[in-house]
Structure 1
Amino acid sequence: MEEVLEGKDATYLLTDHHRLDKCIELLHLRFSQHAWEDILAIADHLHSLAEKMYNDAQEASLKKLPYLFKAERPLVFYYGFSYLAKGTALQKLRLYDQAREYILKYSELGWFSGLDKIGWEEVERFKFFAKANLYTNDLLSGKLSILPEYAQFLEDNPEELLPGLVTIMETASLHSVNVDDILEKFSEKIEDFGNLEDATNRTHYFRFLYHRAVYYAKHHRYQDSVQLILLFLTSYNMINNVDFKKFVVLFEVYRQYASNEQKEQYQNLFKELLKHEEGVSICNGDIRSY
């Protein structure tokens, strides 16, 4: 489905209902690639599709004609997700005021006509997502006074704790605020994050490590920062190349502050990575070909 953005004619070969689900698939792909500009375009396309189908369904209802909807989820899901995706992309682009507008759009979808039980459940889910994402957007934009309220929200909603702590660490780095008290508050639960196995939580966990490493470095806790970097790098078999490169760069930035033991651990890690590479070896700290 990559061709959807480059040439939308490919999308139009599908039924409208099928295209809704393909847009969702493509949005998930682009999220994983951090392709925020692409996401804005796909979200707009998804919204146009969902809005057209909603209007068609309303017209059919007025004429007392049947309207068969065949997508995998209720129509309100696609309508709300188009706003959620666009709001998230705008936030990632640091366009916080615009992002807030889109978060508010999916915070209350109860006006949507024709909702059944599953549809109302989707409306409630989007309402919760909007609450969490408003906190995120406001914190990243610099509204630091809500930090205590957000910490309480995370305590009341433990399923949001890991992504929420990513937001807090990113906020701390962006706005030079001390959040040691929050890290202490959730310290026991933070220790368990490394045991999470599903892909989404692993992604959140590695982002948490990255922003926490940057946070420690900004507070001159360099060896603590390096230790988190090494913790990430030792999990190289579970992460993608983009993340791995980011942490390698971070280590090199703070290499001068690493202890001899940490430098040795770093070198041993790369020895392990290279040992199966034909014609490459490490000798006295240098990479050599033979």
Structure 2
Amino acid sequence: MSNIRTYIEDYLKNEGYKLQQFSEMADINVGTLSAIIKGSRLMSMNQLDQITSAMGLEQGYFYEMYGVECFIESAPHWRRLEPFLYRCAELGKLDIIQQVITHVTDDQSYIDELFIVAESLYNKSMNESALILFECVADCEKYQHSERLALCQYRIFLLHKTLSKYDNLKAAVKLEQYIDKLNEEVQLDAIKDLVNLYNAIHLWDKVDTWSRELERKAEFQLKIQYRRRKNNRRLTVYPLFTYAAYANLMISTVYSAGREYHKAIKYMHKYMRIIEIENPTEEDQEIINLFKKWGEGNRQLYQLMLGQENVIDSYMNYIESNPEEILAGLINILQAADEYSFNVDYALKRFKEQILLFNTDMHIKGSYNDQRLNQGYKVFYYELAKYQINQCNYSIGIDALLMCLELSSSSEDDLMCIKCLDLYGEYRSEANETQIRRYKNVVEKLSAPTFG
């Protein structure tokens, strides 16, 4: 069976190189190189990369063999394993990482080191490699109530989100049981991320429950904050007041979703009071400005949803000055138009160019993740379809409806698919031949069996 040493020997023989010549090409001491080829000395990662380069081969060419020889067929040594994992991560060799890790974790002594590497890869945004290690550590964690296990599960949750709301829901429910095992400050970020996910899939009861829990925990941390030394490293991503304010922002959002706009306004005022802090730092001020922006937009939004048509112009000015809010803002305008029979053609005309960029790489996405954007596109096209159909603009309305149906089908959003199918059924007689064919194509894909 071939190994790296035989590859080197064959290369020297075929190319006619003497050992001294090749040692100079690889910049490795000739005695060291001789010992490596004879098998009396294991090569380091640097030496392997130098040999690979000298042979004119692509980086990582021998990594699979190296993994087998050093960590599977031989007793692994962390001094070699650690740089190997980093190099595999840098080159995206995920299968090799998975193969090696599966074998080395038979020895529980490596779990501590693997977790440290996983955190390092995570902090360097090498997410796919980090995910493999976090999942491995979580599977091997001996103490099932440890903070480290909880942190692994939190990282897995962050790294494993998909466009399928069912997958995300499953991940969120799993994370819930680990929240209290996290460091008390880290809990704030984990709960915030849970709230964001539940908000994206409109599980309002969950958003409300966890937002109130976030508020409770944030207020407790704020109360004990003065006891901490100022040089203590902050573990939260944001200053503590942010989490209390954000909790109330999300509670306000829950009431808005339930059309209880007067209660939504009450919690809007509450988070606007929370951000009134003394002597804000530069970081604090950036967050304060963000909440002030949200508060101004939400104030106009709630007035709009209470039927105050006169705020539409100022609300359009707001979303135009905050381009990342145009998608959500137009959804709100269309929903108000549906509720109160407003004619908002002028709004659609004003944002025509931006609408054309929806669902493209040119759309200004702001801080919204793919999950929330995908949901936003679906809702926008559905609301646009309803509005245009109510305006008797059937062709435009059905085109928008089919766009929503296609997006809902691709993201496996069954509820939105059903809403689209129902609305199409009401107005199918208004569809033209092209729209009928397009509709049939989507329905055939929905009906097709899946295997896996």
TM-score (norm 1): 0.83
1:189–1:14: structure 2 CA closer, same or farther, 3 Å change rule? closer
For 2:404 and 2:175, the matched residues in 1 are separated by: 35
From 9, 13, 17, give the equivalent of 2:181: 13
Q: Contact conserved, 1:76 with 1:122, CA < 8 A, in 2?
A: no
Answer yes or no: is 1:216 the counterpart of 2:388: yes
Alignment of 1:1-290 (within 5 A): 1-2=172-173, 11-58=179-226, 60=227, 69-112=234-277, 115-196=280-361, 199=370, 200-235=372-407, 236-238=409-411, 240-274=413-447
Deviating more after overlay: 139-148 vs 110-119: 110-119
Q: Contact conserved, 1:96 with 1:137, CA < 8 A, in 2?
A: yes
Residue 202 of structure 1 deviates from its aligned partner by 3.2
Letter of the structure 2 residue corresponding to residue 32 of structure 1: A
Residue 220 of structure 1 deviates from its aligned partner by 2.4
Q: Secondary structure at the match of 1:152?
A: helix
Letter of the structure 1 residue corresponding to residue 221 of structure 2: M
Residue 186 of structure 1 deviates from its aligned partner by 1.6
Q: Contact conserved, 2:405 with 2:416, CA < 8 A, in 1?
A: no
Q: Secondary structure at the match of 2:245?
A: helix
For 1:138 and 1:100, the matched residues in 2 are separated by: 9
For 2:285 and 2:350, the matched residues in 1 are separated by: 35
Letter of the structure 1 residue corresponding to residue 270 of structure 2: K
For 2:438 and 2:310, the matched residues in 1 are separated by: 40
Residue 120 of structure 1 deviates from its aligned partner by 1.9
Q: Contact conserved, 1:166 with 1:208, CA < 8 A, in 2?
A: yes
Q: Contact conserved, 2:401 with 2:420, CA < 8 A, in 1?
A: yes
Residue 41 of structure 1 deviates from its aligned partner by 1.4
Deviating more after overlay: 113-122 vs 175-184: 113-122
CA RMSD of aligned residues (A): 2.6
Residue 50 of structure 1 deviates from its aligned partner by 0.6
Letter of the structure 1 residue corresponding to residue 208 of structure 2: L
Residue 275 of structure 1 deviates from its aligned partner by 5.5
1:110–1:223: structure 2 CA closer, same or farther, 3 Å change rule? closer
Residue 28 of structure 1 deviates from its aligned partner by 1.4
Q: Secondary structure at the match of 2:347?
A: helix
Residue 171 of structure 1 deviates from its aligned partner by 0.9
Q: Contact conserved, 1:20 with 1:78, CA < 8 A, in 2?
A: yes
Letter of the structure 1 residue corresponding to residue 200 of structure 2: S
1:13–1:247: structure 2 CA closer, same or farther, 3 Å change rule? same
Residue 268 of structure 1 deviates from its aligned partner by 2.7
Residue 40 of structure 1 deviates from its aligned partner by 1.3
Q: Percent identity?
A: 24
1:274–1:36: structure 2 CA closer, same or farther, 3 Å change rule? closer
Residue 141 of structure 1 deviates from its aligned partner by 1.7
Equivalenced residues, count: 272
Structure number with greater Rg is 2
Residue 273 of structure 1 deviates from its aligned partner by 4.7
For 1:274 and 1:4, the matched residues in 2 are separated by: 33
User: Cα deviations across residues 12-53 of structure 1 (Å, max 9, x unaligned)?
Assistant: 333321211121121012112211122111111110111111
User: Cα deviations across residues 205-251 of structure 1 (Å, max 9, x unaligned)?
Assistant: 22111111111122222332212111223343256333333222221
For 1:273 and 1:82, the matched residues in 2 are separated by: 38
Q: Contact conserved, 1:84 with 1:103, CA < 8 A, in 2?
A: yes
For 1:167 and 1:108, the matched residues in 2 are separated by: 25
For 2:243 and 2:206, the matched residues in 1 are separated by: 17
Residue 67 of structure 1 deviates from its aligned partner by 6.2
For 2:412 and 2:304, the matched residues in 1 are separated by: 27
TM-score (norm 2): 0.55
Letter of the structure 1 residue corresponding to residue 401 of structure 2: I
Q: Contact conserved, 1:39 with 1:89, CA < 8 A, in 2?
A: yes
Q: Secondary structure at the match of 1:73?
A: coil
